[in-house]
Amino acid sequence: MGAHSIAHADGHAHDVHHHEESFVSKYIFSHDHKMISKQFLVTAIFMAWVAVIMSLIFRLQLAWPGEGFAFTNFFLGEKWAPGGVLDPNMYLALVTIHGTIMVFFVLTGGLSGTFANLLIPLQLGARDMASGFINMLSYWFFFLSSIIMLSSLFVEGGPASAGWTIYPPLSALPKAIPGSGMGMTLWLVSMTLFIASSLMGGLNYVVTIMNLRTKGMKMTRMPLTMWAILLTAVLGILSFPVLLSAALLLLLDRSLGTSFYLSDIYIAGEALDHTGGSPVLFQHLFWFLGHPEVYIVLLPALGITSEIISTNSRKPIFGYRAMIGSILAIGFLSFIVWGHHMFITGMNPFLGSVFVFTTLLIAIPSAVKVFNYITTLWRGNLVLTPAMLFSIGLVATFIAGGLTGIILADSALDINVHDTYFVVAHFHIVMGMSAIFGMFAGVYHWFPKMYGRMMNTKMGYAHFWVTFVCAFGVFFPMHFIGLAGAPRRYYSYSEFPMFDGVLDLNILVTLFAIVGALAQVLFTYNFFYSVFRGPKAVQNPWKSNTLEWTTPVEHIHGNWPGPLPVVYRWPYDYSKPGKAEDWVSQITPLDHDEEEH
């Protein structure tokens, strides 16, 4: 199957009906990148729903602290929500697992897993991934790690509750918080499997992009999605192992009595044996992954957006090389900025200054990207499909979240807003919303490629507008809650008279969150309905230039029935002067005297 397709990669005609497949090899242990991509997507949608419901539960508590809700009680039962009132320990568990699932399972595994798997072979003209088997393993490790993460919700003491950043000593000591018992162990085991999955996927992506491009597909003729995914994979390969080592050392501290992160602790009436370790060490290791992780989440979304904005503006992406350059610059810089999460940990202030400098440098390639998107729209011929709307939405959230990032990167200002709702607002907009908008855009745009059917456009519009309004309705007011000094991860704000003035904002936010979640019901319905009952798609519904639209609508192993396509031009020849149509596929040879760009 996978290996089989590679054997045919030399360009022989590929016989579709050569061998019958069983249900198991086709839908479950599939080596086919298109099927694996769908598996990632459906798993991610399920995980996203778990995380959304968690957020609704704690948003209810934040808006109406101490009140009982049947909704809360339904999901958590009497143990964690007596009378429907959320338990404070469970509150912390929910914010922790909400963050973990969204960051890792939805926006890393789900986003990269879906679109890297779907698009790499299709946009580069390959029969499949370099290793179909490792690709399959990558999904099943992801699946297993999802199961373990979800099972941690059901253990005594509850799931991990130390925040998604799991800072020790809180995460190391079951005596400090009940969630640091079995729940934390499962969290670490789950993340270990997740990292293995992510590494297998990442290595496969890089190898495939470097080696299996079809004839004529030079690096500088690759769609920007490919560049974004390549850099994402490289970032993941370089940074996830560091998280793994951080997690392993934490496991040792927890179970074998080592002292990597622990020192001088007196808890529950006892002085512990640990001496000489430093909790700050964990933070360095964590954020060495944690910051590139932001771009692991964001870059694929930006790549998807570049592709969709160009296609639907019927206009080449403005500054293709500058876009590649900015992806490379962001990728490089993302490795030397992690300290900006740690300005107030007692880190040497001079070191802090260095991180201020490197962090603010990232604003330059980011600004270039924003201006290039806007210029691509300028004098374009915009077809406002749901995918295009979400892409424009992404640019809006990227602007709003990027600008507040400048405040947080400025260490002197960070002192006062660090760990407040301002931070919550910032990263939900710039990383959460941007990435999820990129993911929605990708789903709407490539749905015909994935399922051979079309999603309903009208429902797509309703989904976009409600989601877009609610995204800002939820996260924009949080800046103000943060500027009033309200810390994040507080179970309730009613203990402090100083926050009384912004308490009504919490209600506003929760109302938007509820409506926003309902819009996702519409999306989920549209998605699954269209998978089975949507109108049949044509081969190239968006009149796009890239190679994936030259494959047949019905999926076949090896993607192209005949020889692999040959590429003659870059992917952005939209509305090129002298052409009859406003698009020219990459497989169309250059005219006699035609210049490439």
Partner 1 sequence: MMKLLILIVVVLGILAVAQLARVYELTAKLRGKREEDISPADNRFNGRMMWVFGIAYFAFFLWLVLHYKDKMLPVAASEQGVETDWLMDFNWWILLVAFVITNVLLFWFAGKYIYSKDRRAYWQPHNNKLELAWTVAPAAVLAVIIIYGLQSWNNITSPASPDALVVELYARQFDWTARYPGNDGGLGATDFRLINGNNPLGIVTKESVAERIAELDAEINSSDSLLAHAILAATKQEELTEQVGRMRRNKTRIINLRTIMELDIAEKGEASPYLHGADDIVIKEFVLPVRKEVKILIRSQDVIHSAYLPHMRIQMNAVPGMTTTMKMVPTITTDSMRTIMADQDFNFILLCNKICGASHYNMQMPLVITSAEEYTVWMAEALKKPFKPLAVKEENEGAAPVATPIDTTVVAPATVAQLH
Minimum distance between the CB of residue 81 and partner 1, rounded to whole angstroms? Answer: 14
Q: Is 271 helix (H, G, I), strand (E, B) or coil?
A: strand
Q: Which is nearer to partner 1, 22 or 348 (CB)?
A: 348
Nearer to partner 1, 206 or 400 (CB): 400
Q: How far apart are the C-alpha atoms of 303 and 446, rounded to whole Å?
A: 14
Smallest separation (angstroms) from partner 1 to the CB of 396: 6
3-state secondary structure of 583: strand
Q: What CA–CA distance (Å, rounded) separates 48 from 42?
A: 10
Return d(Cα 264, Cα 279) in angstroms, integer: 11
Dihedral angle, C-alpha 40, 517, 80, 46, nearest 10 °: -10
Cα gap 239→331, rounded to integer Å: 11
Would you say 203 and 135 are in contact if contact means Cβ atoms under 8 Å apart? no
Q: Which CB, 86 or 233, lies closer to partner 1?
A: 86
Written as six digits, the tokens of 241 are 């192992």
> Whole-number minimum distance, CB 85 to partner 1, in Å?
14
Is the link from the previous residue into 169 a cis peptide, with omega within 30 of 0?
yes
Is 160 or 226 the residue whose CB approaches partner 1 more closely? Answer: 160
Determine the angle formed by the axes of helices 279-313 and 111-124, rounding to 10 degrees. Answer: 50
Region of residue 485 (left: phi > 0; alpha: psi -120 to 50; beta: else) = left
What distance in Å separates the CA atoms of residue 70 and residue 89, rounded to the nearest whole number? 19
Q: Residue 348 Cβ, how far from partner 1 at the closest point, in Å? A: 9
Nearer to partner 1, 35 or 86 (CB): 86
Complex with partner 1: residue 442 or 477, whichever CB lies closer: 477
Nearer to partner 1, 137 or 389 (CB): 389
Judged by beta carbon, residue 43 or residue 411, the one nearer partner 1 is 411
C-alpha dihedral over 156, 157, 162, 168, to 10 degrees? -90
Q: Of the two residues 42 and 403, which places its CB atom closer to partner 1 in the complex?
A: 403
CB of 232 to partner 1, least distance (A): 23
| The Cα angle at residue 362 between residues 361 and 363, in degrees rounded to 5 | 90
Q: How far is the CB of 107 from partner 1 (least distance, A)?
A: 21
* Pick 151 or 353: Cβ nearer partner 1: 353
Q: Could you tell me the smallest distance in angstroms from the CB atom of residue 475 to partner 1?
A: 12
Half-sphere exposure of 320 (CA within 13 A, CB side): 20
Shortest approach of partner 1 to residue 412 CB, angstroms? 4
CB 494, min distance to partner 1, A: 9
CA–CA separation, 477 and 474 (whole Å): 7
Decide if 16 contacts 561 (C-beta within 8 A): yes
Two structure tokens written together for 530: 């269209």
The SS3 of residue 101 is: helix
Report the candidate in 116, 267, 270, 264 with the shortest Cα–Cα distance to residue 200: 116
CB of 511 to partner 1, least distance (A): 12
Instruction: Please identify, using beta-carbon distances, which residue of 290 and 477 lies nearer to partner 1.
Output: 477
CB of 244 to partner 1, least distance (A): 22
Enumerate residues 6+ apart whose C-beta is below 8 A from 333.
358, 361, 362, 365
